[in-house]
Amino acid sequence: MSTSSRTRSHDAFRKARRLIPGGVNSPARAFHAVGGEPIFMARGAGQFLYDIDDNRYLDYIGSWGPMILGHAHPQVIEAIQQAAARGTSFGAPTENESRLAELIMQAVPSVERVRLVNSGTEATMSAIRVARGATGREKVIKFSGCYHGHVDSLLVSAGSAAATLGVPDSPGVTIGTSKDTIVLNYNDPCAVSEAFRMHPKDIAAVILEPIVGNMGTVLPTHEFLRSLRNETSKYGAVLIFDEVMTGFRVAYGGAQSLFGIEPDLTTLGKIVGGGLPLAAYGGKADIMDNVMPAGKVYQAGTLAGNPLATAAGAATLEILRDDPPYEYLESQASRLASGLLNAAISVGFPAQMQRMGSMMTLFFNDAPVTDWPTANRSNRERFASYFWGLIEHGVYMPCSQFEALFFSRTHRPEDIEFTIEAAEKVLLQMAESGKG
What is the 3 state secondary structure string of 236-284? CCEEEEEECCCECCCECCCHHHHHCCCCCEEEECHHHHCCCCCEEEEEC
Same domain, 30 and 151: no
* 176/126 same-domain check: yes
Rg of the chain over Cα atoms, rounded to whole angstroms, equals: 21
Q: Is residue 2 part of a domain?
A: no
Whether residue 406 lies inside any domain: the answer is: no
> Is residue 228 domain-resident?
yes
pLDDT averaged over 10-residue windows placed end to end, the chain, 436 residues: 78 97 91 94 98 98 97 98 97 97 98 98 97 97 92 61 45 78 96 97 97 96 98 98 98 97 97 97 98 96 96 98 98 98 97 98 97 95 97 97 96 98 98 83
Active site residue 50: no
- Which pLDDT score, from 0 to 100, does residue 279 have? 98
Dihedral angle at the C-alpha atoms of 371, 374, 376, 381, nearest 10 degrees? Answer: -130
Task: For residue 281, indicate whether it is catalytic.
Answer: no
How far is Cα 57 from Cα 39, in angstroms, rounded to an integer? 11
Same domain, 35 and 116: no
Query: Residue 283 maps to which CATH number?
Result: 3.40.640.10
Is 314 part of a structural domain of the chain? yes
- pLDDT, position 159: 29
Indicate if 279 and 155 belong to the same structural domain. Answer: yes
Domain span at residue 148? 76-322
Burial class (CB in 10 A: 0-12, 13-18, 19+), 402: buried
Neighbours of 105 (CB within 10 A): 15
Residue 162 lies in a domain: yes
* Given the residues 180, 188, 242, 415, the one annotated as active site: 242
Which amino acid, residue 227? S
- Burial of residue 372 (CB within 10 Å: 0-12, 13-18, 19+) is buried
User: Choosing from 270, 281, 386, 396, which is the catalytic residue?
Assistant: 270
Number of other CB atoms surrounding residue 214 within 10 Å? 21
Dist CA 173 CA 157 (whole Å):
12
User: How far is CA 66 from its chain centroid?
Assistant: 9
Please tell me whether residues 269 and 136 are part of one structural domain: yes
Task: Say whether both 178 and 299 belong to one domain.
Answer: yes
Closest CA to 355 of 371, 334, 331: 334
- Residue 162 CA to residue 98 CA, distance in Å, equals 43
Instruction: Evaluate whether residue 424 is within a structural domain.
Output: no
Strands of 395-396's sheet in order across: 41-45, 48-51, 56-59, 395-396
Count of CB atoms situated within 10 Å of the CB of 348: 9
Burial level of 218, CB count in 10 A (0-12/13-18/19+)? buried
Can 270 be counted among the known catalytic residues?
Answer: yes
**351 within some domain:** no
At 199, the amino acid letter reads H
**CA separation, residue 221 to residues 186, 224, 232, 269, 436 (Å):** 10, 5, 17, 24, 31
- The strand pair at 265-268 and 238-243 is best described as parallel
Domain end among 277, 292, 322: 322
| Same domain flag for 217 and 271 | yes
301, 313 Cβ separation under 8 angstroms: no
Quick check: is 405 in a domain? no
pLDDT of residue 168: 56
* Helices and strands: H and E segment counts in the chain: 14, 17
Burial tier of 391 (Cβ tally within 10 Å: 0-12, 13-18, 19+): buried
Same domain as 124, residue 23: no
Backbone angles phi, psi at 356, to 5 degrees: -140, 110
The C-alpha atoms of residue 150 and residue 209 are separated, in whole angstroms, by 15
* Total domain count, the chain: 2
Statement to judge: residues 173 and 298 lie in one domain: yes
Q: Catalytic pick from 57, 147, 186, 281?
A: 147
Same domain, 18 and 156: no
What is the number of residues in the chain?
Answer: 436
CA distance readout (Å), 115 to 107, 215, 407: 15, 28, 28
Beta-carbon-side half-sphere exposure of residue 47 (alpha carbons within 13 Å): 18
SS3 per residue for 123-187: HHHHHHHHHHHHHCCCEEEEECCCCCCCCHHHCEECCCCCCEECEECCCCCCHHHHCCEEEECCC
Same domain, 36 and 81: no
Residues 40 and 91 in one domain: no
d(CA 166, CA 181): 6
